[in-house]
Each structure stands twice: as structure tokens, then as C-alpha cells.
Amino acid sequence: MEPAVSIRGLTKVFRVPSLKRQRVVAVRDLSLEVASGEIYGLIGPNGSGKSTTMKVLLGLSRPTRGSTAIFGRDSLSVSSRIDVGFLPENPYFYKFLTGEETLHFYGRLGGLRRKEIRERSGELLALVGLEEARHRRLSGYSKGMLQRIGLAQALIQRPRLVVLDEPTAGVDPAGSRRIRDLILKMRDDGITVILSSHLLEQVQEVCDRVGIIFQGELCREGPMKDLMAIEDQTEILLEKASPELLEKLKTVIREHGDESALLSMGHPRTTLERLFLEETSGKSPDTRE
């Protein structure tokens, strides 16, 4: 089957306007493929080239070398964008439109008819939880609401591929859970997703495959499971263990004699996110509905 996204040998060089004609290599010879139906996470430090890669993929920026394609259509052609939804980082829409008008605008640009848009925007506003705010202008939206209307906007014409640049940046943990659930729902609907994020735990939770990009180069890539497993280590989790039991265990390990060694022992660390959610909603974040 045709890959949803294929990036071949992409290099992007920016000329920085200055006296010395400096150049910035934002992306260097990057190749990757995302199969249809997959959720792909692009992670890396600030300035490593994630957004640039996405912009080239969407034809907003021209590749210096190499090529990118969406479902086999080159990104330079307008028709490659029929099947894509894009949520840019820190999205910003027309402030003077209401939530509903925003969806109407993008729906029309995506080629939908009025009637289809009416149905679809009702559906999407409910999906992202903005039904109450549908008649309010975006100038009065909070950051999280903007992010969610952006997500709805990306999905309006039922694209087969959704590109999300830091979809949970600036969103509170509950909202960010919600976005995560939406992404998982997209996977159930057979939509391919490529996203970038700094929240590694979230990436870990939703992505099938990740690529780690550093200084414009893809330095590691693979299925989530493979990347996360540290094959030669084992974690033991105990409850209500007495100090004597722990001492005993240590002795057993020491006396076992072979190469095994105790690396650490202590209370398992809870993540800040988990803690915050438990404190603020009073229920374990794992009980997803």
C-alpha cells in the first residue's frame, strides 16, 4: 500500500538575511515514511527542525533538496493537500470569526458544500467540546480552545492524514488528555497522524512509531515498543514490602553470583502529570471512558 507520507532526502536551508549571508540548515538529508493508518511521533529538542519538516510536507515551504509526498502526490502540487488536515504550532485563526464561522470558512476551502459543513461542524464542535462557544468570536477563546478549534478545522473535510505540530502545547493536562483521546479516536477511524510534541509521555502513549530528530537529522527511528524496552533490565514493583524483605532480596541478588546487579531500589516515581490529574479530578487518569 502507498505510504501516507514519504519524505526522501529532505534538506532545507534557510538564508538568514544579514550582511554575512549566513545560512541555517534546518533539516539535513531526512528520509522517513509513514504508513497508512499509523500514528507517527516526531520528537526532538527546540529548533531541531520538526516544524520545518512539516511545513515542507504541506507545501508551505520549498525543499532545498529532496522531495516530500502525501499519498503519492508531491507536496508542491496543490492537489496533495486535498487529503490533509494541518494544525500548526500555536495556531492562530481569524479573531473576528466565531467558532462556527471558522469551521465554515475552512470547510468551504476544503471543498465541502454548505449542507455537509453544517452537519460536519456540529459533529466536530461536539467532538472537541466547543458547542457552548460556537457563536463566540475567537478573540475571546483561550489557548486551549484555539487548539481545539484548530483540531476541528484540520478534520473538517475528513482528511486521511492529519499533521499536528505540538497539539498539546499550552493546554492543561485535562485538555491534553482530551486531545490524546481524540488522536486515538482518529486511529480507530483509520486516519494517519503525524505529530510532534515535547511531552514524551504522551508520545509514548499514543504513537505507534517515533522518530527522534536532532539538529535537522533523524538520528533514531522505530516502533515505540522497540525504542522503549531496555532489554537487559527488569523492574520489580512491590507493595507494603518490609525493610527486612528488601534486605533479604538484596542478599539473594548479591548471593546469586552471576552478572546481575541491583541498580536501584526505592518508591516508584509518579509523573507530575499523573499527580496533577489525580489531585484535580479525583480519579486515576487511567480510567479513560
Partner 1 sequence: MNPSPSPHRLCSPIRVWVIARNTLTQLVRQRAFYFLLVFSLVILLAAMLIQNFTDDASRQLKIMKDMSFFAMSIFCTIFAIVATSNLIPRDVEDRTLYTILAKPVPRLEYLVGKYAGGMLVIFFSLAIMTVLLYLALYARQQALMAEYLVVLNRPLSPEGREDIELILSQLKEAGPSWRLLTAVLAIGLQALVLGALTLFISTFASSGLFTVVVAFVAFFVGYIEPVVLDYWRSSAESISRLGSFVSYLVELVFPNFQTFNLVDGVVSGAALAKGTMAKILSMAMAYVGVYLLAAYFCFAEKEL
Ligand X SMILES: Nc1ncnc2c1ncn2[C@@H]1O[C@H](COP(=O)(O)OP(=O)(O)OP(=O)(O)O)[C@@H](O)[C@H]1O
- Count the site residues for partner 1 by CB under 8 A: 36
108 versus 134: smaller Cβ distance to partner 1: 108
CB 41 within 8 A of CB 211: yes
- The CA distance from 218 to 212, in Å, is 6
For residue 126, the one-letter residue type is A
Among residues 4, 7, 26, 124, which is the contact residue for ligand X, using CB under 6 A? 26
**147: partner contacted, choices ligand X, partner 1, Mg ion, none (Cβ within 5-8 A by kind):** none
Does 89 participate in binding ligand X (rule CB under 6 A)? yes
Q: Does 68 bind ligand X (CB under 6 A)?
A: no
Q: Would you count residue 169 as binding partner 1 (CB under 8 A)?
A: no
Total residues belonging to the chain: 289
92 forms part of the interface with partner 1 (CB under 8 A): yes
Give min distance, CB of 198 to ligand X, in A: 6
Residue 106 or 141: the one with the smaller Cβ distance to partner 1 is: 106
Give yes or no for residue 51 binding Mg ion (CB under 5 A).
Answer: yes
Q: Which of 22, 94, 185, 214 binds partner 1 (CB under 8 A)?
A: 94
Out of 108, 118, 136, 143, which residue is the one contacting partner 1 (CB under 8 A)?
Answer: 108
Q: For the chain, how big is the Rg over CA atoms in Å?
A: 23
Half-sphere exposure of 198 (CA within 13 A, CB side): 9
Q: Which of 63, 100, 106, 178 binds partner 1 (CB under 8 A)?
A: 106
Size of the site for Mg ion (CB under 5 A): 2
Give CA separation, 206 vs 6, 122, 142, 182, 269, in Å.
Answer: 21, 26, 25, 10, 21
Nearer to Mg ion, 98 or 197 (CB): 197
Closest CB to ligand X among residues 49, 59: 49
Which listed option, ligand X, partner 1, Mg ion, none, makes contact with residue 141 (CB within 5 to 8 Å by class)?
none
Please provide the DSSP assignment of 141-201 as one string.
Answer: --HHHHHHHHHHHHHTT--SEEEEESTTTT--HHHHHHHHHHHHHHHHTT-EEEEE-S-HH
Distance CA 119, CA 187 (A): 22
Interaction of residue 82 with partner 1, rule CB under 8 A: yes
Terminal Cα distance for the chain, rounded: 33
Single-letter residue type at 210? V
The residues binding partner 1 (CB under 8 A) are 14, 55, 58-62, 78-79, 81-86, 88, 90-94, 96-97, 105-106, 108-111, 150, 153, 157-158, 160, 163, 190
